[in-house]
Amino acid sequence: MPALLSDTALVFGRYARQTLRSKFQMLFGVLTPLLYLLFFGPLLTDLPLGSRGDSWQVLVPGLLLQLGLFGATFSGFAIIIEKQFGVVERMRVTPVSRLALLLGRVLRDAALFVFQAVLLVLAALAMGLRAPLAGVLIGFAFVGVLTLSLASLSYALALKVSKPHEFGPVVNAVSMPSMLLSGLMLPMALAPGWLDVLSHFMPFRYLVDAVRAAYVGDYASGALLYGVVTAAAFAALSVIVGTRVFRTAGA
């Protein structure tokens, strides 16, 4: 265990330093959710959204998870580039554990997207968001766990493909239905009955509902419990899959 922790810290530090040298990467990822906040959020003001809380308490949790969803699913592009330049081959001959190679990367991604989530919430507060501090912190935790999960799967997929143009279509085919069926922009309670039923098969819906419950201070709700269980199970499964692919792919 101490070796795993030190190896993970070593890999995390390497990629964290790369990120800190790229201010553009740190800030650009929050641009799309910020545009939704600025230009879509005001349209929802005073509309009946079929849930507790005001429009900002509905929209901002969805934008936080959108940040993790679209950012983390494309994380694998980096490892495709590393494969092309031989970085993965050089790492393969080191004694660093394969789990640490995965965890170091995904923890860097989680830290990056939580930082971007903080920027997004600060902008939302300036526009009128009011939410309990505990709820906001719970939202950040969900962003981190979602990033860890999706980045693990993204890296696993990237190790299985050889070219970026093979990776992008697969990610888009997964991320777009996930966004539409999870109710990121609007609660699925507003959808027709058949679409609402279909959305229950999308695990991200439970995460969105959980963060929205936290943003109105409903910490004892079933929505928050289901979200925690779903997020934990999805994270465990994703790390297992990612680690197995790292081992078998010789990463």
What pLDDT score was predicted for residue 1?
65
> Domain range for residue 200?
2-248
3-state per-residue secondary structure call for 63-100: HHHHHHHHHHHCCHHHHHHHHHCCHHHHHHCCCCCHHH
Please tell me which residue, 93 or 200, carries the higher pLDDT value: 200
Question: Who's near 149: CB < 8 A, 6+ residues apart?
Answer: 72, 231, 234, 235, 237, 238, 239
What pLDDT score was predicted for residue 98?
78
Cα–Cα separations (whole angstroms), residue 239 to 40, 47, 72, 103, 243:
35, 40, 14, 8, 6
pLDDT surpasses 80 at 228: yes
Nearest to 149 by CA among 166, 169, 174, 131: 174
Q: Which of 60-69, 148-157, 166-175, 209-218 has the lowest mean pLDDT?
A: 166-175
Q: Write down the pTM of the prediction.
A: 0.91
Domains in the chain: how many in total?
Answer: 1
Reported as a pLDDT band with limits 50, 70 and 90, residue 122 is: very high
Instruction: Quick: pLDDT tens for 35-53.
Output: 888 988 888 877 666 666 6
